[in-house]
Structure 1
Amino acid sequence: MKAGLKLPEVTFHTRVRDEAVGGPNPFRWEDKTTSDYFAGKRVILFSLPGAFTPTCSTYQLPGFEKGAAEFKELGIDEIYCLSVNDSFVMNKWAESQNLENVKVIPDGSGEFSRKMGMLVAKDNLGFGMRSWRYAAIVDNGVVEAWFEEPGICDNHGEDPYGVSSPENLLKHLKGEGAEAVA
């Protein structure tokens, strides 16, 4: 059961746009910690197997992006999408998805996912180590509600999706019967 769990403190290596850098790729490295993202805020964190993958790009990320205003009305300050991809990939994916509301977090080395107990092998798909699909409502760095897809294991033959969907989190926040899982 992850409700009540304090998120692990890690450093995420991000790339941020900085026009002072100049040139065709005006980005610089900026390290951000778990506290930088989660302290003093009530947020939704959702994690998925990979940027640019079908379910993630077609349903989960766009669903959270479209539902952002409604989530804010229900007391959510930020929505974060985390994946075991580097910052270059996550930034390009955010750009390709025309994100305005959801912010991406690169867990390039998988350290956060590992410390959350959510790092799984996806060698059967040629991915290597990736995050299992889940979502959480996090208040000031502590998990308030946890939504994990069933069947977590290495090299799972399917990609379950539903429990961690934006629709399910909205139902939970509205008290409409969608329960978080242990």
Structure 2
Amino acid sequence: MLKVGDTLPAVSLQEFIEVEGGGCSLGPNAFDVPAIAAGKKIAIFALPGAFTPTCSAQHVPGYVAAAEDFRAAGVDEIWCVSVNDAFVMGAWGRDQKTAGAVRMMADGSADFADATGLTLDLTSRGMGLRSQRYSLLAVDGVVRTLNVEAPGKFEVSDAQTLLKQAQGL
């Protein structure tokens, strides 16, 4: 399982890009995690699924609301990672008004979740293999803090907990 001091997994995540530019075409674009994390301080929060109740009502809105505070704490980017495809993550991002605040990163095949060892089997609920709920700060691709939730909980991966940690780094 991923722990403090580990490097982020060497996998790709996808992001739905709505405005062409910066070398990104319209539509889903794949990004190599180590390459886009290099030289940056990144706040990452992962969750079981797009449009799910806790994720939509509390988790994502908390990070969107705190985006400027994260920037003031030296965080370059905030990523929301979920085992959904890039189209779903793009639609969820529009619904949650994340543009300019949180990058909605799709882990469609659960490669990132699997590589972190932070998977959650929700097959019995019709959702298949998903990511556990957690947050972390990575500096230059190295995990500096990690907050993994107990099953069914939302107590330590919220924006305010990670923001306090970011302010201390």
Alignment TM-score, normalising by the size of structure 1: 0.83
Distance 1:15 1:172, change over 3 A: closer
Distance 1:29 1:68, change over 3 A: closer
Distance 1:15 1:169, change over 3 A: closer
Q: Structure 1 vs Structure 2: percent identity of aligned residues?
A: 37
SS in 1 for 2:108: coil
Following superposition, the deviation at residue 36 of structure 1 comes to 3.6
1:1-182 → structure 2 map (5 Å cutoff): 2-17=3-18, 27-100=26-99, 101-151=101-151, 159-175=152-168
> What amino acid is the match of 2:18?
R
Whether the aligned pair in 1 keeps the contact of 2:137 and 2:166 (CA below 8 Å) is no
State which drifts further: 87-96 or 8-17.
Answer: 8-17
Tell me the number of residue pairs that the alignment of Structure 1 and Structure 2 aligns.
Answer: 163
Stretches of structure 1 that go unaligned for 5 or more consecutive residues are 20-25, 152-158, 176-182
Distance 1:104 1:29, change over 3 A: closer
SS in 2 for 1:162: coil
Distance (Å, rounded) in 2 between the aligned partners of 1:13 and 1:44: 17
Whether the aligned pair in 1 keeps the contact of 2:75 and 2:166 (CA below 8 Å) is no
Whether the aligned pair in 1 keeps the contact of 2:15 and 2:86 (CA below 8 Å) is yes
SS in 1 for 2:114: helix
1:156 aligns to what? none
Q: CA RMSD in A?
A: 1.9
Distance (Å, rounded) in 1 between the aligned partners of 2:73 and 2:29: 31
SS in 2 for 1:4: coil
Following superposition, the deviation at residue 75 of structure 1 comes to 1.2
Distance (Å, rounded) in 1 between the aligned partners of 2:18 and 2:48: 25
CA shift digits 1:102-146 (9 cap, x unpaired) = 011100000110000011211232111100000000001110111
Q: Quick check: which has more Rg, 1 or 2?
A: 1
Following superposition, the deviation at residue 30 of structure 1 comes to 2.3
> What amino acid is the match of 1:164?
S
Which structure has more relative contact order (CA 8 Å, sep 6+)? It is 2
Stretches of structure 2 that go unaligned for 5 or more consecutive residues are none
